[in-house]
Structure 1
Amino acid sequence: MTKPPEPKPLLHDAEKPLRSRAHRRRDPEQPNLPFDPMPDRVEPCLALLKPRPPKGPQWAFEAKWDGYRLAVHIEPSGVRVLTRRGHDWTDRFPAIAAEARRLPVATAILDGEAVVFDERGRSDFGRLQQSLGGRGGKRMSGEAVLMAFDLLYFDGRDLRQTELTARRQLLEGLVPAGGEEAIRLSEEIEADGDVLLRIACEHGLEGIIAKDRNSTYRSGRGGEWLKIKCIQSDGFAIVGYEKSTSSFGGIGRLLLAARKGDELVYVGGVGTGFNGQSAAELREQMDKLIIAKPAVDTGWKRNAVFIDPKLVAEIEYRAWTHDGKLRHASYKGLREEQDSADLFNIDSRAPSG
């Protein structure tokens, strides 16, 4: 992967300063240009899942990060770190908040993803969760890094109606490339989308993001941003588990459900991806939610324990079977109840081949 090219100087002779002509002095009675009000919160722009990268010069590409979406508000009164659903997690990301206070800007809103890296430099959702004390934990994460990829407000100006290229230029001036601090730039990568996706998958990354350079910032999943994954990963409700005496936490397999319309439907199980700690924490939470009858029809299951489907697990999987079950599934962790706990909608599933 290559770094984006250095910006070209405005003048051929960089030693000569660029000077403008003198203008008439401003009338002191003339009012100052008013600042744009700073939004208290911005609903994030979300990436639309696509099977292949788009073509065309208007598309910019970045790595897809596997963590928690955050908005960092730098305000005159201090710094706030907000999750995707607007929960204030400033105290849980002290290193990110401290770095935000050091940025050379009076007011700003940075959009990015909090991640924790593994030994190979890949973002690891499970490690991020462990650094926060697991689902529902209250621990502070000193390891988390914000990979900043957009700038929504800057020194009194709302940038959401400004095209992505201009927002990125301002962001790169605020968060330079190649830094090692708690806030780092998610760099654009100059490459063909298909080639970049192949390289990302070979390096064990989750996938890539494509963004329309000419687009404004629009909340929701409007198609200005696209995500192309190497391995599918989505949220599924845990409706029970099968007990096992030879597995971590006594969990042989989790029983999973997806949303279909207003109902939940059974989509199979997952029995890999656990370690001793994650299985023990999961078993403790599941055993608080035991119910007598299953919330969905799972068919006959041996040694099954059914639970109220309030826990949402992040599951990696390769494909779907012809009868609508997950193939080659692996458990990644629990999503927070109040954040990023969207269930996969089976109506949006592509047909299995």
Structure 2
Amino acid sequence: MPDPLKLYKAKRDFKITAEPKEGGEASKGLLTFVIQKHWATRLHYDFRLELDGVMKSWAVPKGPSFDTHDRRMAVHVEDHPISYSDFEGTIPPQQYGAGKVIVWDKGTWEPVGDPRKGFAKGEIKFEMHGHKMHGRWVLVRLRGHEDDRQEPWLLIKENDEYARPAAGFSVVDEMPDSVRDLPMPASGAAAAAKPARKAAAKPKRGAPPDGAVKADLPATLAPELATLVDGPPADTENYIYEIKFDGYRMLTRVQGKDIRFVTRNGNDWTAKLGPLQQEVRRMKLPDGWYDGEIVVHDENGKPNFNLLQLAFDGSNTARIVYFVFDVPYCKGYDLRDVRLDARRALLQDVLAAKPSDIVRFSTEFGTDPAQLVVAACQIGLEGVIGKRRDSRYVTRRSPEWIKLKCGQRQEFVIGGYTDPQGSRTGIGSLLLGYYDKDGVLRYAGNCGSGFNGASLRHMRAALEQIATDKSPFPPRAVPGRTNHWVRPELVAEVSFSEWTATDSIRHPVFQGLRKDKPARSVVRELPKHMQAEAPPADAKPARKRAAKKAPAADDALPGNLPATFKVTHGERVMDAESGVTKVEMVRYYALVGTLMMAYLKGRPVSLVRAPEGVGGELFFQKHVGDTRKMPGVVRMDQALDPDHPSMTAIATTEGLLSSAQWNVVEIHSQNATAGHYDTPDRMVFDLDPGEGVEWPAVQEAAQLVRAFLQELGLNPFLKTSGGKGLHVVVPLKPKLDWDTVKDFSHAIVDHLARTLPERFSAKSGAKNRVGRIFIDYLRNGRGATTVAAWSARARPGLGISVPVRWEELPGLKSGSHWTVKTVHTRLDEGNAPWADYARSATTLTKAMKALGFKPGKQ
């Protein structure tokens, strides 16, 4: 009898590779499957089904998709031994398939029909029971390829209760890690309850629910956010519905007696919630992260946002009530991959063990969302939240949590106010706005309703503290000549009846100030349309379509990317440490594009390309010869720098995507713009720690540099470098030439190094900064560059450079505090920490005089 593993063995030298030569017992019950994530020449997923004592195997470049419209190419490869299902490790260089391998998913599979006949025919239907893979699937061989050595097949999700659109869920992106050390998941009749129409079965007392993973309690957690929609979903029975509370979103971290309350933006509000902290401590809740909303009820028992604010201001003694609706971590387990109804069942049991009047479980509100919204509006509530019963917890805005509002209501930035008329005191009305995609504050109308005498006077006092002479809106955007302007820092929550044709709000009513949201995050909130469920798909017609035209090598990307934008070799791993692929890099720059363009427009850039990814050879390019294949990337006027080829600029956010498609990881920018290239508009000090310097010393050094610059009358700003150190940036009015600015920055660094020689070095080179920090002033020379804010770094882990407030410095863990993988935890803050950057620009005249610096004599 021929050896089914002959080809497998012939390709490998088992004296070198740790892969198993043979072995593994055939299953006595249900057949097993494994999917291995494999970083070979290109990242792909090895899809293996046990059959006839071996693992039938396919290489799936893009990995599986739960979208029934996706046809994933699956190349049939040689059979593998059953023992291969447990293999994790690195296949050595020069060996077949060299690269890292992890067990991405495992479980059991049930064939639908005879799998052997299906294999011979070219169509295998089956049901999967894994940690990540569920429901019915089909493998279909493309016609006309039966004799190929490596036959092309398609892996397709069949339409069932597990099917989900790709725009809302990517299993390979959202569940990237190994499951090797997890127990085999339940299968067949004992499988976890299906995610539609029926609630998940309660786990046995003491047993973790399916999907729970043993994990340490993380120090921080970003909440899942709901998406505003224009109507109820078609499959309403697949959702649970809760009251939309009129309060503040609040996460609670419990670790023994250490109890902290954190807002949706990561601000610690523990000190403001003393009574609530005492109550949670009394309840002795298990260690975990709890997610909910804090509210204050009025005399009718309705949540009242204004009363909640007064409770914080100390104006009354109203009782704050905490409604808890989710538990992403609990009892030593990460529950984010547990379906929602199972998480809520566990949460309800936890809260019921020690009942409380002020810490309550957020119960379901009913089953008919249309009637629920009507009822909510009638009793004066804000609306209804719907959540898919099977949804996992994701730390970002999700289409699986939806908001159905009674009326129009959202946050607006206060840009000014008018004077009161007649007997009214304080203010007449607020001038409201929101930020558009280009970061411009757009005028949205006035709001004068919803105040009383006390709140009018309080508002006037608060606004006078942030008064300014300059309008934060575009010129002539706001009618009237007697308006008072304020810095755009305060956020008002306002209800209104509708948007007018001129993009203003009608019948606005002030609800209160929001202290949990940064002004820069306020945009116009537009409801998304709920799509109807896709009709059932038939695998055979799909096969016929596929036979005519094989799928493209790279799909158009959803989300923030233009529909026409293509990414080639998107599966290529750009960083082995984080596993980030090329397509994820493109998506990252799509995500931060608007934030980043604020620091790139009109500014010469240099691009750092990494065709082989982090760890490979890097190419630093200041001049791009042909930009025709890079939309959004332009060549600048050569007259700016006549002695060299034309410099490069990124003109639009699409230029960022084009650059990432061209394998660019880092984007550096110069200290001047094209409008005044001979006179730089900023000064940069790069704090670069030498060997033996610990992070606390870098933090202390940044504070020292800041203090000295402020003593000179300058206004320094801070950002992480994305690498080991920090960047201190001083905005300048473009008055002085390059040499003068560079020489003065050198004088500042020399002064610091002479004053504190044990801490600072003014000389580069590793031997000059052992145990010290080199303050790199060379970034201030003509043509020199510094990594731009929000740029990734071509270093293991892909840290990113992020603008921060000086008050945040003590909480930073390193210069790469945020990475491409964790940027979502920072997006709500955006560029808000540098909101005053442009207004803080100054000349260097007084600073030079204070330091005794004379241009041209250094």
TM-score bracket for this pair, using the shorter chain length: 0.7 to 0.9
**Structure 1 residue 238 and structure 2 residue 414: aligned?**
yes
For the residue of structure 1 that corresponds to 2:225, the secondary structure is coil
Q: Is 2:465 the counterpart of 1:288?
A: yes
Please report how far the alpha carbon of residue 280 of structure 1 lies from its aligned counterpart in structure 2 after TM superposition.
Answer: 1.5
Task: Name 1:256's counterpart in structure 2.
Answer: 432
Larger radius of gyration: 2
Cα distance in 2, alignment partners of residues 88 and 105 from structure 1: 19
Mapped partners of 1:80, 1:71: distance in 2: 8
Instruction: Point out the more displaced range, 163-172 or 47-56.
Output: 47-56
Shift of 1:343: 4.6
Answering whether residue 301 of structure 2 is matched by residue 121 of structure 1, we say yes
Matched, 1:58 2:242: no
Q: CA deviation at 1:190?
A: 2.8
State the distance in 2 between where 1:219 and 1:308 align. 31
Question: Using the alignment, how far apart are the partners of 2:420 and 2:295 within structure 1?
Answer: 33
Distance in 2 (CA, whole Å) between partners of 1:115 and 1:266 is 30
Scaled by the length of structure 2, what TM-score is found?
0.35
Contact 1:242 1:301 in 2 (8 A): no
Structure number with higher helix proportion = 2
For residue 711 of structure 2, what is the aligned residue in structure 1? none
How far residue 313 of structure 1 moved from its aligned partner, in angstroms, is: 0.9
- Paired with 2:265 and 2:256, the residues of 1 have a C-alpha distance of 23
Greater CA drift, 303-312 or 321-330: 303-312
- Counterpart check, 1:169 vs 2:348: no
Letter in 2 for 1:96: L
Are 1:186 and 2:362 matched, yes or no? yes
Q: How big is the shift at 1:38? A: 0.3
Distance 1:185 1:109, change over 3 A: same
Partner of 2:321: 145
**In the alignment, structure 1 residue 44 sits paired with structure 2 residue 223:** yes
Name the residue aligned to 1:206.
382
Structure 1 residue aligned with 2:714 = none
Distance 2:334 2:242 in 1: 24
Asked whether 1:300 is paired with 2:483, we answer no
Matched letter for residue 280 of structure 1: R
Counterpart in 2 of 1:339? 517
* CA separation of 1:112 and 1:342: change in aligned 2, threshold 3 A: farther
* Equivalent residue letter for 1:224: E
Deviations along 1:104-135, whole A, 9 cap, x unmatched? 433121100010011111111111001100xx
Contact 2:229-2:402 within 8 A present in 1 as well: yes
Q: How far, CA to CA, are the matches of 1:180 and 1:280 in structure 2?
A: 38
Question: Whole-Å Cα distance in 2 between the matches of residues 143 and 185 of structure 1?
Answer: 17
For 1:53 and 1:324, how far apart are their aligned partners in 2? 26
**Structure 2 residue 451 is the aligned partner of structure 1 residue 271:** no
Q: Cα offset for 1:299?
A: 3.5
Distance 1:176 1:215 in 2: 23
Aligned residues of 1:94 and 1:141 also touching (Cα < 8 A): no
Q: Looking at both structures, which has the greater relative contact order when contacts are Cα pairs under 8 Å and sequence separation is at least 6?
A: 1
Aligned mate of 1:327, from 499, 506, 511:
506
Contact persistence 2:410–2:525 (CA under 8 A): no
Bigger drift between 290-299 and 37-46 goes to 290-299
In structure 2, runs of 5+ residues without a counterpart are: 1-198, 206-212, 529-858
Deviation at 1:327, TM superposition (A): 0.6
Asked if 2 retains the 8 angstrom alpha-carbon contact of 1:69 and 1:113, the reply is yes
- Is the 8 Å Cα contact of residues 234 and 343 (structure 1) preserved in structure 2? no
Kindly indicate whether the alpha-carbon contact (under 8 Å) linking 1:93 and 1:140 is maintained by their aligned counterparts in 2: no
Equivalent position amino acid for 1:346 in 2? R
SS of 1:222's equivalent in the other structure is strand
Give the CA deviation at 1:92: 1.0
Residue 248 of structure 2 is aligned with which of 68, 83, 87? 68
| Number of aligned residue pairs | 317
1:248·1:275 contact (CA, 8 Å) conserved in 2?
A: no
Residue 132 of structure 1: aligned partner? 312
Aligned to 1:316: 495
Unaligned runs of 5+ in 1: 1-6, 11-17, 20-33
Root-mean-square deviation (Å): 2.7
Segment of structure 1 superposing worse, 183-192 or 243-252: 243-252
Q: Secondary structure at the residue paired with 1:234?
A: strand
**Take 2:266 and 2:523, find their aligned partners in 1: how far apart are those partners?**
23
TM-fit CA distance, 1:142: 5.9
